[in-house]
Amino acid sequence: SPDTVRSMFTSALSDKYRQMILVSDINHRSNQNIQHHTKVERHGAIRLRTAGALAMMRRSFSVMGMCPVRYYDLSVASLPIRATCFRPLAKRSLARNPFRVFAFLLHLELIQDESLRPKAVNILRERKIFTPRCVELIQEFENSGLFSHSVAEEFINDAIQNFQWLKDSTVDMKTY
């Protein structure tokens, strides 16, 4: 079920984050009686560069029973960004696993520095966050409405890469 896939994803994401950041070690040292809510991710965030990436991310989260909820226009804070939150809608699904992800999308037309826009377009063109296999698996789910456990694991292994911290950036610090 999508709830099961979401639970598998959040568990895998939590494992990935524990490998990448110190929070788990610090939490464990400061409190030996850690509750479940600190062991499994409940929130995530991802920066997306194109409307196509956002559309594919929506399809990916749909596999996990998550839908876009609300719209946040950060241009009111002088940021060229708009966002949404993906989460389950049903109370039963929220009770089982309330994981949510905020997805931020850069809007080129909101970049005030006109000389920066062409550079941004070139940078955006370079990045592809979904592997061809991940796209195939999403299409498979959309056609059948379910995954076997082994296919769900394969999907999660591919999808989790979108949340991996990248050591090397495609954008230099000055441009950023």
CATH number of the domain to which 31 belongs: 3.10.180.80
Query: What pLDDT was estimated at residue 37?
Result: 46
> How many Å apart are CA 159 and CA 153, to the nearest integer?
10
How many domains are contained in the chain? 1
99 lies in some domain: yes
Give the confidence band of 28 by pLDDT, cuts at 50, 70, 90: low
- Residue 171 counted as domain residue: no
Asked if the structure places residue 131 within a domain, the reply is yes
Q: What is the CA radius of gyration of the chain?
A: 18
Q: Flag whether 169 is in a domain.
A: no
Q: Which of 164, 42, 32, 18 is nearest to 97 (CA)?
A: 42
Would you place residue 32 in the very low, low, confident or very high pLDDT band (cuts 50, 70, 90)? low
Quick: pLDDT tens for 51-100. 888 999 999 999 999 999 999 999 999 888 999 999 999 999 999 888 89
Q: In whole angstroms, how far apart are CA 105 and each of 9, 17, 141?
A: 22, 22, 25
16, with CB counted inside 10 A (0-12, 13-18, 19+), is middle
Domain that holds residue 10: 2-163
46 within domain boundaries: yes
Residue 111 within a domain: yes
Dump pLDDT digits (tens) for 122-155.
877 777 788 899 999 999 999 998 899 999 999 9
